[in-house]
Structure 1
Amino acid sequence: MWHLGLWLNPIPGARYYVSECNTPRFSIEEDTAYPETKELRSRLKAVNAMPQEIVTKILAKAETPLISRFSFVLAWHPESLDRLEPTAEAIRPHDLYGWSREDFRAIHGSRMQFEQNVPPKDPRYFIIGLDTLGIRVFQLLEDRPTVADSKFPDCLWFIIEKLSRLDDYFIRTNGDFLRLDPIRTSIDTLMLWDTPAPPDQFTIVNDGLSKPMRMRCIVTEQCTGISVFCNGRKIYGIYAHKENRSLAADTYKRLCHYRKDPLIWIYFPLAPNEGIRGVWIRQRYGPRKMITDIALMIRTTLGRCHVFGPCLDPQADDSVEICLSKGQVSHLIHEDADDGDPILCFGQTLLDDMQLDSPEILQHPPSFHNKWDLFHSCASLEDVKQVCLFFDERGSDLNNLDNCCLGMLLTYSSGHREALGQCRVGLSATATIEHPTSLHFAEATSIDGKTGVIVCVASDNVGINLSHKRQWLSTKMTGIITWWFNSEKTIPCIEVEDI
Structure 2
Amino acid sequence: MSRGRMLIAYKGDTFLAATCYSYDPPLSEERRRARYIEQALVYNLQQARLWPRELATELWTMVAGLLLEDCAAFTAQEQLRECDSAEEYTIDLTQPVYASYVKIDGRVYVKNLRNTGKTDFHMLLTPGICADENEGMDMFVAEDHLGIRQIIFASPKRCDEWCRSHSSAPSAWWKHISRCDIRSTVAIRSDGLKIRDIKFGRKGSLALAPRIGWQVPVSVSPTIIDLLTLKIPEEYPSNLRMRFFDCNGPDTTGYFVATDGARTLAILSHKQDQQVDPSYFEDVDAPICFWIYMPINKGEYLTDICRRAGSLTVRTETIGLTFSTNRGRTVVFGLYGHENVDFRRVAALPHTPCRVYFNQANSPGRRSVELIALESGRAAINQDRIPSPPASVSHYPYTQSNEIWIHSSCSMRHLTLVHACVDKSAPHQPVIGMLLYYTDGHRESVGQFRLDWSIESITVREMDRLYICGKRTKQNWGYVAAATTRPPLNQAEGCWLDVAQAGLLEWWFSSRHSVLFYNNSRLN
Which of the five TM-score ranges fits, normalised by the shorter chain?
A: 0.5 to 0.7
Q: Secondary structure at the match of 1:250?
A: helix
Superposed CA deviations along residues 7-42 of structure 1, whole A, max 9, x for unmatched, are xxxxxxxxxx956794999xx978x9x9x89xxxxx
Distance in 2 between the 1:321 and 1:377 partners? 21
Distance in 2 between the 1:252 and 1:448 partners? 27
CA distance 1:346–1:216, shift in 2 (3 Å):
same
Residue 383 of structure 1: how far off its partner (Å): 1.7
Superposed CA deviations along residues 166-207 of structure 1, whole A, max 9, x for unmatched, are 9xxxxxxxx99433327898986339xxxxxxxxxxxxxxxx
Q: Secondary structure at the match of 1:465?
A: coil
Contact 2:223–2:373 (CA<8 Å) still a contact in 1?
A: yes
Q: Which residue number corresponds to residue 179 of structure 1?
A: 224
Q: 1:452 aligns with which of 479, 483, 488?
A: 479
CA distance 1:151–1:284, shift in 2 (3 Å):
same
CA distance 1:471–1:126, shift in 2 (3 Å):
same
Counterpart mapping for 1:269-288 below 5 A: 269-284=295-310
Could you state the TM-score of these two structures normalised by the residue count of structure 1?
0.59
Q: Which residue number corresponds to residue 384 of structure 1?
A: 415
Distance in 2 between the 1:137 and 1:463 partners? 67
Indicate whether 1:246 and 2:276 are aligned: yes
Indicate whether 1:311 and 2:327 are aligned: no
Residue 131 of structure 1: how far off its partner (Å): 5.2
Residue 418 of structure 1: how far off its partner (Å): 0.8
Counterpart mapping for 1:191-270 below 5 A: 210=238, 212-220=239-247, 221=249, 222-242=251-271, 243-247=273-277, 249-253=278-282, 259-260=286-287, 262-270=288-296
Residue 150 of structure 1: how far off its partner (Å): 7.5
> Which protein has greater RCO, CA pairs closer than 8 Å, 6+ apart?
1
Q: Which residue number corresponds to residue 330 of structure 1?
A: 354
Contact 1:181–1:190 (CA<8 Å) still a contact in 2?
A: no
Q: Secondary structure at the match of 1:92?
A: strand
Superposed CA deviations along residues 232-281 of structure 1, whole A, max 9, x for unmatched, are 2212222222324224x32444678xx45x22121122235433222223
Structure with more of its chain in helix, by fraction: 2
Contact 2:397–2:515 (CA<8 Å) still a contact in 1?
A: no
Contact 1:386–1:434 (CA<8 Å) still a contact in 2?
A: yes
CA distance 1:346–1:379, shift in 2 (3 Å):
same
Counterpart mapping for 1:98-497 below 5 A: 124=135, 126-128=137-139, 134=150, 138-141=154-157, 177-181=222-226, 189-190=235-236, 210=238, 212-220=239-247, 221=249, 222-242=251-271, 243-247=273-277, 249-253=278-282, 259-260=286-287, 262-284=288-310, 292-314=317-339, 316-317=340-341, 319-328=342-351, 330-338=354-362, 341-349=367-375, 351-352=377-378, 354-355=381-382, 357=384, 360-362=387-389, 365-366=391-392, 368-369=394-395, 373-394=404-425, 404-435=430-461, 437-446=464-473, 449-458=476-485, 464-489=488-513, 491-496=514-519
CA distance 1:464–1:177, shift in 2 (3 Å):
same
Distance in 2 between the 1:287 and 1:438 partners? 43
Alignment length, in residue pairs?
A: 376
Distance in 2 between the 1:354 and 1:186 partners? 13
Contact 2:309–2:317 (CA<8 Å) still a contact in 1?
A: yes
Q: Secondary structure at the match of 2:155?
A: strand
Q: Percent identity?
A: 17
Distance in 2 between the 1:226 and 1:150 partners? 28
Distance in 2 between the 1:179 and 1:213 partners? 11
Question: Which residue identity lines up with residue 438 of structure 1 in the other structure?
Answer: R
Distance in 1 between the 2:458 and 2:412 partners? 16
CA distance 1:152–1:336, shift in 2 (3 Å):
closer
Distance in 2 between the 1:393 and 1:253 partners? 12
Contact 2:137–2:155 (CA<8 Å) still a contact in 1?
A: yes
Distance in 2 between the 1:214 and 1:408 partners? 33
Residue 385 of structure 1: how far off its partner (Å): 0.6
Q: Which runs of 5+ in 2 are unaligned?
A: 1-16, 20-72, 90-103, 144-148, 168-172, 178-204, 208-219, 399-403
Distance in 2 between the 1:449 and 1:385 partners? 34
Distance in 2 between the 1:158 and 1:324 partners? 24
CA distance 1:393–1:149, shift in 2 (3 Å):
closer
Q: Secondary structure at the match of 2:517?
A: strand
Distance in 1 between the 2:135 and 2:312 partners? 45
Residue 424 of structure 1: how far off its partner (Å): 2.1
Superposed CA deviations along residues 294-326 of structure 1, whole A, max 9, x for unmatched, are 312112244322111112242x32x34241333
Question: Which residue identity lines up with residue 124 of structure 2 in the other structure?
Answer: R
Distance in 2 between the 1:229 and 1:131 partners? 27
Contact 2:359–2:369 (CA<8 Å) still a contact in 1?
A: yes
Q: Secondary structure at the match of 2:479?
A: strand
Could you state the TM-score of these two structures normalised by the residue count of structure 2?
0.56
Q: Secondary structure at the match of 2:279?
A: helix
